[in-house]
Structures are given as C-alpha cells and as structure tokens.
Structure 1
Amino acid sequence: GLLRRALAVWARPGATVRVSATPGTFTGGPAGPPQLLYAGDVDAARVVILYDGLRIARYAEPRDGTEGAALDFARVDGATGAEASALVLGRSDGNVRYLTAPWVKKAAGRDLTKPESAPTALTLADGVTSPLASPALRAGDCTSWTVLQLTDGSGTQLSSDLGELVPAHLTAGRPGSTGEATGAEGLRAWAPFACSLAAERA
C-alpha cells in the first residue's frame, strides 16, 4: 500500500524519485521508528507525512501511478509553537494545503500587503486546510502576498509558504523583543515588505 511504498522509498529512494531537503537536513533513512502524521489523497497526489524525531519526511506520488514520486525533508527538532503548527501537505494549481497540528483551532488566509483587510476563513477537515493561494508558486509582479493565519490556545500566528515543507513563521518587533505579527502594528510593519519575501523562496 501507500504507507509501505513511502517507507521503502525513504529507506532507499530510487533514481526516479526526486529528493529535496531544507538546508542542514540530511536525507538518509529514518533515525528512529517513524511516526505517521498523515496518509491520504491531496488534490492530484497521494501523500504520506512521517516524523522520525528529528525530521519531517513527505512522500508524494501522483494519484494515477508512482512515476514522478517525490521525497522532501525538513528538520524540525527544536520546533515549538508556531514553527510546529503547520506543514505543507501539497501544492497544486497555484494553491497550497497545510496539515495543522491538533492544537490549532482556526485557520485563515490573509493578504500581508493589505494590513487593514480581514482574514478569510479556511475550513479545517481532520487538520487539513482548504486550498490557500501560495506566493511560493507565483511568478510575475507581486500585487498581494497571502499568508496562513493560525489560532490556537496561546493566540494567533502568521506563517508564509516560501517553497519548503515548513512555512516560515513571521514575527514583528525589534531584535530581542519580537512578538507575533498578527496585531495591527505588526501587520502595518510587514505590509511594505511583504513582496520582499519573494527573495527568500526556496
């Protein structure tokens, strides 16, 4: 089945599997018994997300076969709070879907270039968000920058898809005294620089 294929590819990816990793992340086999975080269909792909105590591994294959399978890695040891609240489940048609942590209560999209605009609610089904426009996939002029807004028991955080497995957590404030960027002041501070995030895309 799907899970067995994902584990086999992680242990020994073949020449046809596209492997990628965030900087500083090794791509070898599991460091320990992997924990299954997700397995199922996401848009046009079948996806498995596993965690080995150090890294997140995402295996994806087309729904109509296994040609063009991909294996992506990201180190998440030390991730807490907002950094541990969402993972990119899949990207297609200019959109991204996230897998959110069990403690996330609400998800929304927000245009970082328009600090006065209200967030747009996303549905959460078993921790999976409805599609959100991904700035990581867009080319051409930057006229908006859609970010993910998550709410949990401790408050609200913003993250941006920059093309990696874990979205980038956005904060505001002076170095040494940064806080969440979701307040009116933080949103206004980010607005002029939202499109500069394009330079950080993987």
Structure 2
Amino acid sequence: MNISLRAAQLGLVATAAMVLVGCAHHDHAAMHAMHHGGMMTTAAPTSPARLTESTPTLSSGYKKVAAPAEAKVYFTNLRNGSTVTSPVKVGFGLSGMGVAPAGVEKAGTGHHHLLIDVAEVDANAPLPANDQYRHFGLGQTETSVELKPGTHTLQLILGDQNHIPHHPVVISERITITVK
C-alpha cells in the first residue's frame, strides 16, 4: 500500500474519532465509527446472568426442544456501554434458528424473551412473565421499553413454544446500558 493512501485512511479514522466526541449516544457513535471505518471503545464486558445447567429432559418428563449448537441470539441495535433515552428501542437478532409464536411447535424455532436487570435464569423452567422477563410470544423481533434513568442490564433468551429455554440454551451476551 502506498504511503499517501495509508495516510489518507488514517486521517479518515482520526476524523471519525473526532466526530464521535460530539455524539450524544454511544450506539449512534458506534454506527458512525463503523461507517467511517473506525472503532469505538465500549464498556467492559458485563458478566452474564447466572444460568442453571440445562438438562435435555425435565423432572416432569418434558423433553426440551433441541437447539443447534451454532444458534445465536443478539441485539441488533444496542451494544454494551450504549447510552440511550427512554423509551428504549431494542432489536432482536437470531441466527441458526427461526422465530415462531408461542404455542407453535415447529423444529428449529423459538420466540424471544428480554431479560431486564435479571441476575439468574433457571434453564429448566418456563420463563416467568413480569417486568424483568418480557415475553414476545407473537414472534416479535423488536420492542420499545420504558426504563427509568440509570444503569440497566439487558439480555435475550430464546424460549420454546412453552416459554422454556432450549437445550442447549440460546442466550445473548448480557449488556449494560445507561438510560439518560
């Protein structure tokens, strides 16, 4: 690579970094940096919620729905360390499986659950439905949630037709966001 081309590329990255300083939202800043070929430093990784060991069959005899080892669930628009305003738009991504509504038994599918400030998950029980465990049993792939100002953790987990995590569990990284 010639020196003047490399210098121009470095100048573009430096310019993108200077523009980021004025961005109000880290997620916007990350998108801006990616667009301009730069990188953005995010907060330190958040430790995941404690997850009980998943078993293929529950004590009741219920056989958990199998998930491919490569299945992944992730946030499409938020990153660890993002600063946002409420209501918070949350996009759900899924690869290696498909989305089906709750109650629909179809191999290779499940539906999303959003965990808000959850420290522990029972991988062998139906996920509760409350303010901390939000169910998206109609097959939704995004939502908007009202969160109080402050720091919150978010994590996604896929549930089967009966809201029970798959085996192995399909769960995202746990991220921390700050709501202004």
TM-score (norm 2): 0.30
Q: Which has the larger radius of gyration?
A: 2
Bigger fraction of residues in strand: 1
